[in-house]
Structure 1
Amino acid sequence: MIERRPFDTLGGADHGWLKAKHHFSFASYNDPGRMGWGALRVWNDDTIAPQTGFPPHPHADMEIITYVREGAITHRDNLGNEGRTEAGDVQVMSAGSGITHSEYNVEPGTTRIFQIWIIPDESGKPPSWGARPFPKGERSGRFVALASGFKEDTEALPLRTDARVLGATLKAGDTVDYTLESSRYAYLVPSTGAVEINGTRLDARDGAAIRDESVLRITAIEDAELVLVDTAA
Structure 2
Amino acid sequence: MIRLITASQRYEAQVEGWLRSHYLFSFADYYDPENMEFGPLRVFNDDYVSPRSGFPTHPHSELEIVTIVLSGDLTHKDNIGNETTVSPGQVQRMTAGTGVSHSETNDTDDEIHLLQLWFMPNKRGLAPSYEVMDVGFLKAKDELIPLVTGQKVLEDVTYINSNSTVYYGSVSQGEEITFRTFKIRRTLIYVLTGSLLVNNVEADSHDQIRLDEQEVIAIRGTADATFILVDVPALEANY
Which range, TM-score by smaller chain?
A: over 0.9
Q: CA deviation at 1:2?
A: 1.6
* Aligned 1:63-102 pairs, distance under 5 A: 63-102=64-103
* Aligned 1:211-226 pairs, distance under 5 A: 211-226=212-227
- What's 1:17 paired with? 18
CA distance in 1, matches of 2:177, 2:92: 25
Segments of 5+ residues of structure 2 without an aligned counterpart are none
* Paired-residue identity, %: 32
Local SS of the residue matching 1:103: strand
* Aligned 1:124-143 pairs, distance under 5 A: 124-136=125-137, 139-143=140-144
* Aligned 1:47-62 pairs, distance under 5 A: 47-62=48-63
CA distance in 2, matches of 1:195, 1:38: 23
Q: CA deviation at 1:20?
A: 1.2
Matched-pair contact (CA < 8 Å) for 1:73–1:86: yes
Matched-pair contact (CA < 8 Å) for 2:137–2:145: no
Matched-pair contact (CA < 8 Å) for 1:183–1:212: yes
Calculate the aligned-residue CA RMSD, in Å: 1.3
Is 209-218 or 81-90 further displaced after alignment?
A: 81-90
What amino acid does structure 1 have at the position aligned with 2:177? V
Q: CA deviation at 1:21?
A: 0.9
- What's 2:190 paired with? 189
Q: CA deviation at 1:30?
A: 0.3
Local SS of the residue matching 1:143: strand
Please give the per-residue CA displacement for 1:118-155, whole angstroms capped at 9, x wherever unaligned. 11001110011111112237642221211001223221
Local SS of the residue matching 2:184: coil
- What's 2:8 paired with? 8
Segments of 5+ residues of structure 1 without an aligned counterpart are none
CA distance in 2, matches of 1:193, 1:82: 35
Please give the per-residue CA displacement for 1:47-83, whole angstroms capped at 9, x wherever unaligned. 1101110000000001111111221211111011121
TM-score by structure 1 length?
0.96
Distance 1:4 1:108, change over 3 A: same
Distance 1:116 1:25, change over 3 A: same
Q: Report whether the alignment pairs 1:31 with 2:18.
A: no
